[in-house]
Amino acid sequence: MDNVVAMVLAGGRVDELLSLTEKRPKSALPIFGIYRIIDFALSNLMHSGIPNAGVLSQYRPYALVRHIGTGEHWDFIGRKRGIRILSPYRGAKASDWYKGTADAVYQNISYIEEFNPEYVLVISADHIYHMNYRQVFQFHVEKKADVTICFTQAKKKTSRFGYGVIDKNDRLVAYQEKPEVPQSNWISMTVYLFKTALLIDCLNTNAREKSHEFGRDIIPRLIQDKRIFGYRFNDYWAYARTIASYYETNMDLLKRKINLDMWQVRTNLSERCGDRDRLPAYIGGHVSNAIISEGCSIRGSVQNSILSPGVFVAPGAEVIGSIIFHDTKIEPRAIVTKVICDKDCHIGEGSVIGGYGDSENSGITLLGKNTIIPPKTVRNAKNVTPSSENRHRQGEEQL
């Protein structure tokens, strides 16, 4: 795979994730206790033997930059190997953000040309799945394809995705971006394998247009006169773009739908624990079907939940069906049910948080970073954020 360069789309905030992406891009969002979402894309690249990758980052990139570091945790270090964070180009006349997925790659054509690869793999950093891109490459070569796009089957039809119609010979015969009435069940995974010359030609042409998206602008046009094929992927894939789907994706780990050991997912082992050494988790209470990370102290009860490093659950406290980020403290006799709790929160003694809530988010209560819940508070809401007097605790240094 030395003749392939990867371009990783890791740019943005997702409004549907509310306060979870207020201070970080979705790709840097914690998941499964110790990981960040981008870990899955980077691990796939590592296991597929792709030596060089550019990460196209735009919105609040600090957390992502710190997490990726030199890339050594995914073996992107060494002779003829590397990873680079590629921020929007700021020229003499303008300082535009990336105007779309195609424009993000277009602004970094020079990075691609630096390696003179035969192929370019464009992928999203926002999805959770395990794939060996070697199989996609082999498929691409066997089909003599100009472009190969990976598709997975939608659990239910919505207008949120790009949909492809694939014939019996795997040829992509139609593609619609976010249609009101989809023509098939096959949705794009935002995994594109291009011949480099064709990609650069498409990007140069698209740069003169008003819209700059692969799915909306480039792919439909290529279907007319190029060999575009659809690679069908039938294993686990999660989008996690809403509060409800992010919650369900985490719960899938507890339901054994995801095998992280088999996937061999890598992460930044030092960054995940912060700027301190973590002790092994202490379990002095009751734990049932839960992920308990290092540095946690469990003196109460934790059921069907995922706890990131450094979480404290006091005696008599209960955590049920919840996702608790780093260094949150849950005081005695507090009850936390179906809550997504961002980092460094404090839930006061005797408080009852969650358990029922906003129907839009499937009854999930969201606590923003640094939220302080006073003792004996009863609260359920879709998005609880810190009060103004606590905002001085917020900042990107601990994202």
Domain-located, residue 272: no
Quote the pLDDT of residue 156.
82
**Co-location of 180 and 215 in the same domain:** yes
Number of domains making up the chain: 2
Quote the pLDDT of residue 15.
87
Domain-located, residue 270: no
Domain-located, residue 359: yes
Question: CA-CA distance, 271 to 325, in Å (whole number)?
Answer: 14
According to DSSP, the residues that pair with 264 across neighbouring strands are none
Question: CA-CA distance, 38 to 83, in Å (whole number)?
Answer: 13
Contact, 296 vs 277, CB < 8 A? Answer: no
Quote the pLDDT of residue 318.
99
Quote the pLDDT of residue 140.
98
Structure tokens at 251: 């719960």
Residue 66 burial class via C-beta count within 10 angstroms: exposed 0-12, middle 13-18, buried 19 and up: middle
Q: Residue 392: give its domain's CATH number.
A: 2.160.10.10
Q: Cα-flanking dihedrals φ and ψ of residue 302, to 5°?
A: -130, 125
Domain-located, residue 393: yes
Low-confidence ranges of the chain (pLDDT < 70): 89-96, 270-276, 356-361, 381-383, 387-399
Residue 323 burial class via C-beta count within 10 angstroms: exposed 0-12, middle 13-18, buried 19 and up: buried
Domain-located, residue 25: yes
**Co-location of 259 and 293 in the same domain:** no
**Co-location of 66 and 161 in the same domain:** yes
**Co-location of 253 and 290 in the same domain:** no
Pairing of strands 297-298, 282-283: parallel
Name the residue type at position 130: H
**Co-location of 231 and 333 in the same domain:** no
Q: Residue 196: give its domain's CATH number.
A: 3.90.550.10
**Co-location of 327 and 284 in the same domain:** yes
Name the residue type at position 256: R
Q: Which of 212, 235, 263 is the last residue of a domain?
A: 263
Write down the pTM of the prediction: 0.92
Quote the pLDDT of residue 12.
74
Residue with tokens 């905030």: 13
Q: Share the mean pLDDT of the chain.
A: 90
Domain-located, residue 273: no
Q: Cite the DSSP H helix spans in the chain.
A: 38-47, 62-68, 101-106, 109-115, 133-142, 196-206, 219-223, 243-254, 260-263
Quote the pLDDT of residue 234.
96
Say whether 18 sits in a helix, a strand or coil: helix
Q: Which domain holds residue 222?
A: 4-263
**Co-location of 119 and 195 in the same domain:** yes
**Residue of 353, 314, 316, 323 whose CA lies nearest to 337:** 353
Q: Which of 239, 263, 287 is the last residue of a domain?
A: 263
**Co-location of 243 and 283 in the same domain:** no
Question: CA-CA distance, 168 to 102, in Å (whole number)?
Answer: 29
Quote the pLDDT of residue 90.
57
Domain-located, residue 269: no
Question: CA-CA distance, 324 to 33, in Å (whole number)?
Answer: 8
**Co-location of 249 and 327 in the same domain:** no
